[in-house]
Amino acid sequence: MENLQAVAIKKLEERGVTIHDMALLVYDLQKKYAPDLTIEDCENMVEHVLGKREVIHTVLTGIALDVATEHDLLDPEINQIIKSDEPLYGIDEILALSIANVSGSIALTNFGYVDKTKPGIIGVLDKLGKDQKQCHTFLDDIVGAIVSASVSRIAHK
């Protein structure tokens, strides 16, 4: 899995998302519950979450769908639905929730919260997608889920 984790981290970076970007969100969400928390702790936890097989599979599948959509490689009906990030299309959130699910209920509520408030890098991805410069329909939710799973794991320690 180590090799596949490196692939996932590289793909995330190619799409504009670093471990540090995600760690900043984790820190903001959790600092008031854990006063001694450092950014480095958050980076370590994000990296730990990115070592899980189901997370790696979700990252690779979600980015593959975003990229295929950007290049118009899918059937026209579904390509259009994904490209426009249609509000009633929920497969992106379902895929992302599979990451949040394995980290318990604190992850689920944080996922809902960041999905609605779109802080930091999640807002950046969302804006790039809405402007149709890139397709991040899947990635913004997946980043939200990785962040939420990391928050939950810090809370459980």
- The residues that touch its own copies, with contacts defined as CB under 8 A, are 4, 7, 11, 53-54, 57-58, 60-61, 63-65, 67-68, 73-75, 77-79, 81-82, 87-91, 93-95, 97-98, 101-106, 108-113, 115-117, 155-156
Do residues 99 and 149 touch, judged by C-beta distance below 8 A? yes
- Least distance (Å) from its own copies to the CB of residue 136? 16
> Cβ closer to its own copies: 42 or 96?
96
Instruction: Read off the tokens for 157.
Output: 């320690």
Measured distance CA(99)–CA(87) in Å, rounded? 21
Q: Concatenated DSSP letters for 84-100?
A: TT-TT--HHHHHHHHHH
> Cβ closer to its own copies: 43 or 59?
59
Measured distance CA(88)–CA(131) in Å, rounded? 18
- Least distance (Å) from its own copies to the CB of residue 118? 11
- Least distance (Å) from its own copies to the CB of residue 33? 8
Measured distance CA(37)–CA(57) in Å, rounded? 29
> Cβ closer to its own copies: 38 or 105?
105
- The helix/strand/coil state of 31 is coil
Instruction: Read off the tokens for 14.
Output: 């190619």
- Least distance (Å) from its own copies to the CB of residue 47? 19
> Cβ closer to its own copies: 19 or 151?
151
